[in-house]
Amino acid sequence: MTTQTETRSFQAETSQLLDLMIHSLYSHKEIFLRELISNASDALDKRRLLGLTDAAVRGDDEGRILIEADPASHTLVVSDDGIGMTRDEVVENIGTIARSGTKEFIRTLKEARKSGEIDAELIGQFGVGFYSAFMVADEVILETRKAGTDEATRWTSKGDGSYTIEPCEKDAPGTRITLVLRPKESEDESWQDFTDEWTLRSVVKRYSDFVEHPVVMEVEREEGEGDEKRSVRELVTLNSRKPLWTRPKAEISEQEYKDFYTHLSHDWNDPLETIHFKAEGTHEYTALLYVPKTRSHEMLDPQQRGARVSLYVKRVLVQAECEELLPPWLRFVRGVVDSADLPLNVSRETLQHARQMGQIRKHLVKKVVETLGKVLADRRDDYVAFWEQLGPVVKEGLVLDEAMRDELAKTCLFHDTHDETLTTLGEYVERMPFTQNAIYYVTASDLRTARSSPHLEALKKKGLAALLLVDPVDEFVVDRLHEFDGKPLVSLDRGELDLGDDADDESSAQLDEKQKELQPALDAVQKALDEHVSSVRLSRRLDESPAVLVGEQGGLSPQMERILRASGQEVPKGRRVLELNAEHPVVQRLLALAAERGDGAGDGESASGDGEGSARFAEFAEVLLGQALLAEGNPPPDPARFAKLLGRLMAGG
Ligand code: ADP
């Protein structure tokens, strides 16, 4: 047992965070109570769960969260008889902020502070929890004893950069947190008296009404009549404790749904949509799920496996954030599932439960996808706003969830060349002229590059539209989807382009003729660029640009190569085909240069040409290649050399 008293410094990040919270957060300070109650409630859940298998930690009775307010000493105490913490756990959990997003959060807070007031919304999203106590307290004292042990620990801090930790006495397991509240400074309008019974009642009602454990407080009440009148103190339960999802839909107000969402998610925005239903049949359960409007940092992180949906069995929490309930790509969904027929000690291992859970999961996924489709159909603007936040995560589902792929494809939005707004694949297909038989797309790292891609030229001339895929996940989407509504997805930057137009046959034949005629010159260009291009041919897809690079049919796009390289994979440097626009003056000049040095004559020997002419020809070809690369958003192979050659050309070389 450690007996000494130690003073330790907070992590630099914790200090920064505290400082920002204390000095920049002015509204919604009352959320500290929600955070403390929520921690206490988790601690009670943990003790109950562990108690099922370990008699040593089991509590005597049901467990409660007690609030004690003392206006005289201006203190507020929140205590629970939950699992408690060991000294090491206190150091680990309370002295540091271990969350991965903390740095990001501090940055966001600082940004927010620059533009004025920091919204409590931000605090909620990151769930800084315990530390929010320092928004209202000058000093916080936490005393805790882990269930199953008899050593207790006291942690004390003024929120000023350090804390003290020492052994203490505590009669029963659990945690007791004392807040020495900050006095009212002048006419601070945001100041609330958190020792006032009615303030406390309303805050608990507002934020913690659904907490399953009783939140109790001793209050004074008048009893008797006239002379008999005397005041008595009694314990009252402040929260209704009735789980929202068990009530009939018709009786639940929108505000109640919303409050429960805030309670679950710590997100202050309204959810995009609420899904509340009771499943009957093979498995009986109730689900209350929320699709959020905005994302939090963790939602974008594909490493975050756990969906934030808790599993209850007959109103008793058996697993918080139960991974089996939803696939990782639905990690943005929040909610609860309450099963009527799983056993209380449901374990992941037993096959029977796995099957049951699998069926529940399938049904939940279906419900969420249906809901997305409904919001898209009924509330387009809301859906677009949601898509801008969480579209990439939904697209992950399209890649990974084969069973839902076709359904999900209908709810995905993409940019296209038709206009500036997002389009569904269905809308794209509807706009296709009857001669068009494929869905065309280009991929690029950003919209601007995509919109100006030379690969779009022939299409634009014919008045056809293409999808502009700029999200890294899009590469995987097209790789898996292959087609939509019977129309294949065709990349404009790979293979020979066939725009499916019979009127083209004649000009196509002419082009073949020309290609034959110019073959020796084209071969010479290939030879000059051998390191980078596998062949050179005349293009059917260009209108304004002189040249464009085209991949093999079915090969990797440059965008995909970039993504794979960025993720640390080795990608062989593939050579692509250089297509030239025979009508373009620059290309005509190049072909003339080839002819000058004798390539027009066609035999391999003379292709070497005279020294100076050869060098000029090779440099010209190199600049053309660099240009084609730049147009698709990639750097030329040797940018410095490219700049030099270009300079020489501009000077009339
Ligand atoms: P969060 O609750 O989001 O994890 P907090 O800062 O509120 O963040 O709490 C950090 C950790 O401290 C909790 O995850 C929990 O392990 C522990 N903790 C906080 N309050 C209690 C409590 N009342 N009883 C037991 N453990 C607690």
Domain range for 559:
502-651
- Averaged pLDDT, 40-51: 90
Pair 133, 207 in one domain: yes
Has residue 359 been placed in a domain?
yes
Question: What CATH number has the domain bearing residue 324?
Answer: 3.30.230.80
Domain stop point among 237, 272, 299: 237
pLDDT score for 602:
43
pLDDT tens for residues 593-610? 887 776 544 444 444 456
Strand pairing category for 174-181 and 137-145:
antiparallel
83 domain-assigned = yes
Tell me phi and psi for residue 192, to 5 degrees.
-125, 145
Grade residue 116 by pLDDT with cuts at 50, 70 and 90.
Answer: low
**Residues 60 and 109 reside in one and the same domain:** yes
Same domain membership, residue 176 and residue 120: yes
**Residue 2's pLDDT band (cuts 50, 70, 90):** low
What pLDDT digit, counting tens, does each position of 517-574 carry? 888 888 988 998 999 898 899 988 888 889 988 887 767 777 777 777 777 777 777 7
Q: What is the pLDDT of residues 194-240, one digit of tens each?
A: 999 999 999 998 878 878 899 999 998 888 888 888 888 999 999 98
Say how many CA atoms lie within 13 Å of 60 toward its Cβ. 3
| Ligand 1 pocket check for 477: Cβ under 6 Å | no
Q: How far is the C-alpha of 129 from the C-alpha of 135, rounded, in Å?
A: 11
What separation in Å is there between the alpha carbon of 88 and the centre of ligand 1?
A: 13
Contact between 425 and 409 under an 8 Å Cβ cutoff? The reply is yes
Separation of alpha carbons 538 and 507, rounded Å: 12
Q: CB burial class (10 A; 0-12, 13-18, 19+) of residue 427?
A: middle
Q: What pLDDT band is residue 53 in, cutting at 50, 70 and 90?
A: confident
Q: What is the residue-wise DSSP string for 376-425?
A: HHH-HHHHHHHHHHHHHHHHHHHHH-GGGHHHHHTT-EEEESS-SSEEEH
What is the number of the ligand 1 atom nearest to the C-alpha of 84?
25
Count each helix (H run) and each strand (E run) in the chain, helices first: 20, 23
Beta pairing, strands 162-168 & 174-181:
unpaired
Interval 395-426: pLDDT, tens:
999 999 999 999 999 999 999 999 999 999 99
Of 93, 123, 264, 308, best ligand 1 pocket probe by most atoms within 8 Å of the beta carbon = 93
Position 404 in a domain: no
User: What residue owns the CA closest to ligand 1's atom 9?
Assistant: 130
Residue 108 CA, chain-centre distance (Å), reads 16
Q: Using a 6 Å cutoff on CB, does residue 239 contact ligand 1?
A: no
CB of 82 closer than 6 angstroms to any ligand 1 atom: yes
Residues 29, 95 within the same domain? yes
CATH for 638? 1.20.120.790
Whether 626 maps to a domain, the answer reads yes
Q: Are residues 45 and 175 in the same domain?
A: yes
Instruction: Look up tokens 């147009």; give the residue.
Output: 631
Residue 393 domain-assigned (yes or no): no
Same domain for 416 and 515, yes or no, is: no
Reply yes or no on whether the pLDDT at 67 is more than 90: yes
Q: Is residue 400 part of a domain?
A: no
CA 637 to chain centre: 35
Cβ(127) to ligand 1 under 6 A?
yes
Which residue's CA is the closest to the ligand 1 atom numbered 13?
A: 93
Which atom of ligand 1 lies closest to the CA of 38?
2
Q: Which of 491, 513, 540 is the endpoint of a domain?
A: 491
Q: Choose the weakest-confidence range: 223-227, 315-319, 338-342.
A: 315-319
CB of 154 within 8 A of CB of 48? Answer: no
Atom of ligand 1 nearest to the CA of 46: 25
Residue 24 beta carbon below 6 angstroms from any ligand 1 atom: no
Ligand 1 neighbour 83 (Cβ under 6 A) = yes
What is the reported pLDDT for 622? 92
Question: Are 546 and 588 in a shared domain?
Answer: yes
Distances (CA, A) of 203 to 29, 236, 264, 496: 11, 15, 16, 67
Atom of ligand 1 at shortest range from CA of 128: 6
In this structure, the residue with its CA closest to atom 10 of ligand 1 is 93
Q: Is the pLDDT of residue 47 over 50?
A: yes
C-alpha of residue 134 to centroid of ligand 1, in Å: 15
Nearest CA residue ID for atom 18, ligand 1: 39
Q: What is the pLDDT of residues 189-200, one digit of tens each?
A: 778 899 999 999
Domain check: are 364 and 255 in the same one? Answer: yes
Residue 197 near residue 238 (C-beta atoms within 8 A)? no
Nearest CA to ligand 1 atom 4: 129
Which of 130, 131, 141, 297 most suits a substitution to test ligand 1, by most atoms within 8 Å of the C-beta? 130
> What count of Cα atoms within 13 Å lies in the side-chain half-sphere of residue 550?
26
Of the residues 220, 237, 254, the one at which a domain ends: 237
Per-chain mean pLDDT for the chain: 85
Q: Ligand 1 test: best mutation among 42, 66, 142, 146, most atoms within 8 Å of CB?
A: 42
94 lines ligand 1 (CB under 6 A): yes
The pLDDT of residue 336: 94
**Element housing 574 (H / E):** none
Distance 314 CA to ligand 1 centre (A): 26
440 in the same domain as 515 = no
Question: Rounded to 5 degrees, what angle do the CA atoms 212, 213, 219 make?
Answer: 125
Q: Specify whether 222 is located in the same domain as 318.
A: no
The 8 Å CB, 24+ separation contacts for 137-140 are 137/76, 137/179, 137/180, 137/181, 137/182, 138/180, 138/181, 138/182, 139/179, 139/180, 140/177, 140/178, 140/179, 140/180
Three-state SS at 316 = strand
- Beta bridge partners, 140, equal 157, 179
Protein residue with its CA nearest to atom 21 in ligand 1: 39
Same domain, 61 and 158: yes
For 15-39, the pLDDT digits (tens) are: 877 887 777 666 678 888 988 998 8
Are 67 and 76 in contact, with CB atoms under 8 Å apart? yes
In a domain, residue 323? The reply is: yes
Looking at residue 505, what is its pLDDT? 65
Candidates 31, 39, 263: which one to mutate for ligand 1, based on the most atoms within 8 Å of Cβ?
39
Who wins on pLDDT, 124 or 13?
13
* CATH code (residue 477): 3.40.50.11260
Q: List the beta bridge partners of residue 548.
A: 579
Is pLDDT above 80 for 63? yes
CA of 40 to the centre of ligand 1 (A): 8
Q: Which of 242-246, 312-316, 470-474 has the lowest mean pLDDT?
A: 312-316
Determine whether 605 is exposed, middle or buried from the number of CB atoms within 10 Å of its CB (0-12, 13-18, 19+).
Answer: exposed
Q: Residue with the nearest Cα to atom 12 of ligand 1?
A: 93
pLDDT of 434 higher than 80:
yes
Q: Is residue 401 part of a domain?
A: no
More confident position, 536 or 112: 536
Whether 173 lines ligand 1, by a CB cut-off of 6 Å, is no
* Alpha helix segments (H runs only) across 217-350: 254-265, 297-300
Q: What 3-state class would DSSP assign to 499? A: coil
Residues 231 and 256 occupy one common structural domain:
no
How far apart, in whole angstroms, are the C-alpha atoms of residue 288 and residue 273? 11
Tokens of 465: 């539209």
pLDDT above 90: percentage of residues in the chain: 43
Number of domains in the chain: 4
Verify whether ligand 1 is closer than 6 Å to residue 43 (CB atom). Answer: yes
21 lines ligand 1 (CB under 6 A): no
Place 52 in a pLDDT band, splitting at 50, 70 and 90. Answer: confident
